[in-house]
Amino acid sequence: MKFTHPLDYYRLNGKQILWYMNIGEDQDSQASNYFPSVKDPQSEKIVVQQEQQLLFLARPQDTVFFHTMPEQAFLDYWKERRLSLPSIICCDKLSQVPDLERYTIIPFIVSDQLLELKRRYPHMDIIAPDLAVCREINHKFNTRRLMERNGFNVTTGYFCSDIESLEHAYEQLISAGFSKCVLKVPYGSSGKGLKVIDNERNFRFLLNYIQNRQTNVDLLLEGWHPHRLSLTSQLFITEYEVHLLAVTEQIIDPNGVYKGTNFTPALSQSEAADYREEILRAGELIRQMGYRGVLGIDSILDTNGELIPVIEINARLTQVTYILPLVIEQKKRYEFVESRVLVFNSRADLDFEDYENDLSEVTRDLPVRIDLYNFCKASGAFKNTYKLFVLVSAHNSEQLIKARSLLDELNTKMTTAVH
């Protein structure tokens, strides 16, 4: 059977495509009931602006929906890099788009909010997997049980239904030699819905917090497996087939903070073959559940060489999905490609051009290509918060390491800048 590329799959009904990154909407979430959390309005503004990444997956004949219009300098920067930009519609809400029913919406995530909009505009099409199937797949506990039933290797862990079983699980994991544990609730992606526990004091604090706020306990406590590689696979699932689109490595610092994605992970031939086999096997189970479209699976290869193929499934597009066309293009010319996320606070009021000039100055003598593909900024009373995404393409690992160092130096400089 002929492979239908995802971009063609999304165009099968022949209507105008409207890309929509509703990244702030959840399919389901219970994390806030269990774990202490603080709302940060600046961070929420930053998250919305990550919709700029839609520009790289959309085709010129498509339309993208933005809540916030990117700076013209950012759009000109990409025109100079020969990116054919789609049409852009900028509104506060998707419902404000004129003649909405003439579009086929391709969202970041299918949600109750989006389905409610569909009820209001019945002729508007949405290409997305079934929400009930997504919820079943995103449920961390159901996914773990499904993998166990089908012979997949899973982390050492225990389901906990009360405070006593949670205490017992922690004691068991510490006795088994784990120095850290991960406490999970059923739902929550991108680090939401889990807490890393690195000592008993933190465990006792969390235990008391949960005990004071919950009557029903539904948790999973897992031992922390030291990672050699934190892998993510992108799958495209149709009615009849499962396709592996990409295998990437998440770059995580010692504090567990996400720093970027390595698009050329260091897997041996046998490791890559084993990983592919297990991921496609997991994908087939997901296909049988009725899922259709793109999704991401998080995996780990630990320091003992043990592969745990399914840690978490995100039944939606991922941010890696959006820049895959850009990555594929760079991999034709460069051996090493990775994205870097740069986050800093500064009193300086920087625009895209300011930062791009500083970036060019710092990396001028380095024989690598650096693309600034997302510029997010949120202004506050005393500081401005910035989050930038860059794609670094290099011919060898030495160049890549040097580029990382220069980017970190620039981050430090920007933090202390006044401008």
Q: What is the pLDDT of residue 415?
A: 82
Question: Measured between alpha carbons, how far is 161 from 38 in angstroms, rounded to an integer?
Answer: 26
Which of 324-333's residues contact partners 24+ apart within 8 Å by CB, and which partners?
Answer: 324/57, 324/234, 324/245, 324/246, 325/56, 325/57, 326/56, 326/371, 326/373, 326/391, 327/246, 327/263, 327/391, 330/369, 330/371, 330/391, 330/393, 331/263, 331/264, 331/393, 333/369, 333/393
Q: Is there a binding annotation on residue 2?
A: no
Using left for φ > 0, alpha for ψ between -120 and 50, and beta otherwise, residue 252 falls in beta
Task: Return the CATH fold of 135-140+226-315.
Answer: D-amino Acid Aminotransferase; Chain A, domain 1 (3.30.470)
Q: Is there a binding annotation on residue 292?
A: no
Alpha carbon separation from 40 to 47, 337, 342, 345, 351 (Å, rounded): 11, 32, 18, 13, 22
Q: Is there a binding annotation on residue 293?
A: no
Q: Is there a binding annotation on residue 183?
A: yes
Q: Is there a binding annotation on residue 55?
A: no
What are 17-70's pLDDT values in tens digits? Answer: 999 999 877 655 544 566 666 667 788 889 999 999 999 999 999 999 999 999
Q: Is there a binding annotation on residue 263?
A: no
Asked if the model's pLDDT at residue 192 lies above 80, the reply is no
Q: Is there a binding annotation on residue 331?
A: no
Confidence of residue 95 (pLDDT cuts 50, 70, 90): very high
Could you tell me the residue ranges of all domains in the chain?
Answer: 6-128, 135-140+226-315, 156-223, 333-416
Alpha carbon separation from 276 to 194, 231, 232, 247 (Å, rounded): 27, 11, 11, 9
Q: Is there a binding annotation on residue 206?
A: yes
Q: Is there a binding annotation on residue 155?
A: no
Q: Is there a binding annotation on residue 224?
A: yes
Q: Is there a binding annotation on residue 285?
A: no
User: Among 101-115, 206-220, 327-341, 380-394, where is mean pLDDT lowest?
Assistant: 206-220
Mean pLDDT, rounded, for 396-404: 95
Q: Is there a binding annotation on residue 218?
A: yes
Strand partners, 250: 230, 261
Task: Return the CATH fold of 333-416.
Answer: Alpha-Beta Plaits (3.30.70)
Mean pLDDT, rounded, for 353-366: 93
Percent of the residues in the chain that have a pLDDT greater than 90, as a whole number:
77
Buried b vs exposed e over 302-316: b needs ≥16 C-beta within 10 Å? eeeeebbbbbbbbbb
Provide the edge-to-edge strand list for the sheet that holds 194-197. Answer: 157-160, 219-223, 181-184, 194-197
Mean pLDDT of the chain: 90
What are 265-314's pLDDT values in tens digits? Answer: 999 999 999 999 999 999 999 999 999 999 999 999 999 999 999 999 99
Asked if the model's pLDDT at residue 341 lies above 90, the reply is yes
Please work out, in degrees rounded to the nearest 5, the angle formed at the alpha carbon of residue 301 by the alpha carbons of 288 and 142.
Answer: 35
Question: Measured between alpha carbons, how far is 330 from 337 in angstroms, rounded to an integer?
Answer: 7
Q: Is there a binding annotation on residue 174?
A: yes
Higher pLDDT, 412 or 213: 412
Asked if the model's pLDDT at residue 419 lies above 60, the reply is no
Q: Is there a binding annotation on residue 307?
A: no
Higher pLDDT, 347 or 50: 50
Q: Is there a binding annotation on residue 227?
A: yes
Q: Is there a binding annotation on residue 91?
A: no
Mean pLDDT, rounded, for 395-414: 92
Alpha carbon separation from 206 to 7, 173, 181, 255 (Å, rounded): 44, 16, 12, 19
Q: What is the pLDDT of residue 412?
A: 87
Q: What is the pLDDT of residue 190?
A: 61
Asked if the model's pLDDT at residue 3 lies above 50, the reply is no
Question: Measured between alpha carbons, how far is 315 from 309 in angstroms, rounded to an integer?
Answer: 16
Write the CATH number of the domain with boundaries 156-223.
3.30.1490
Three-state SS for the chain is CCCCCHHHHCCCCCCEEEEECCCCCCCCCCHHHHCCCCCCHHHHHHHHHHHHHHHHCCCCCCEEEECCCCCHHHHHHHHHCCCCCCEEEECCCHHHCCCHHHEEEEECCCCHHHHHHHHHCCCCEECCCCHHHHHHHHCHHHHHHHHHHCCCCCCCEEEECCHHHHHHHHHHHHHCCCCCEEEECCCCCCCCCEEEECCHHHHHHHHHHHHHHCCCCCEEEEECCCEEEEEEEEEEECCCCEEEEEEEEEEECCCCCEEEEECCCCCCHHHHHHHHHHHHHHHHHHHHCCCCEEEEEEEEEECCCCEEEEEEEECCCCHHHHHHHHHHHHHCCCCEEEEEEEEEEECCCCCHHHHHHHHHHHHCCCCCEEEEEEEEEEECCCCEEEEEEEEEEECCHHHHHHHHHHHHHHHHHHHHCCC
Q: Is there a binding annotation on residue 342?
A: no
Q: What is the pLDDT of residue 27?
A: 52
Asked if the model's pLDDT at residue 371 lies above 90, the reply is yes
Q: Is there a binding annotation on residue 254?
A: no
Q: Is there a binding annotation on residue 245?
A: no
Q: What is the pLDDT of residue 65?
A: 98
Q: What is the pLDDT of residue 105?
A: 96
Percent of the residues in the chain that have a pLDDT greater than 70, as a whole number:
90
Q: Is there a binding annotation on residue 298?
A: yes
Q: What is the pLDDT of residue 2?
A: 42
Q: Is there a binding annotation on residue 185?
A: yes
Asked if the model's pLDDT at residue 181 lies above 90, the reply is yes
Q: Is there a binding annotation on residue 205?
A: yes
Q: Is there a binding annotation on residue 8?
A: no
Q: Is there a binding annotation on residue 388?
A: no
